Amino acid sequence: MSAKFVDRSAVIGTAALTTEQAQQLRERATAGAKKSALAREFGISRETVYSHLRPAAATG
């Protein structure tokens, strides 16, 4: 039996951000916007906000 890839975003309802949205999120966070407010606005969790703010996410 082989392992199958499962798209977890469909299972748990997380929203992916476009490259443009991710850039907007980073700019607003840098300007001082609250992470919880950004999460609500973009329809993502605070953890996802923080993952977009990590240095590796900014480059790729």
Question: pLDDT 10s digit of each residue in the chain, 60 long?
Answer: 555 655 555 545 445 789 999 999 999 999 999 999 999 999 999 999 999 998 865 555
Residue 9 covered by a domain: no
Which residue has tokens 């949205």? 21
The count of domains in the chain is: 1
Give Cα separations from 18 to 1, 3, 25, 30, 60 (angstroms): 35, 28, 10, 18, 12
Q: Are 26 and 53 in contact (CB under 8 A)?
A: yes
Residue 2 covered by a domain: no
Residue 7 covered by a domain: no
Residue 6 covered by a domain: no
- Tell me, what DSSP letter sits at residue 16? P
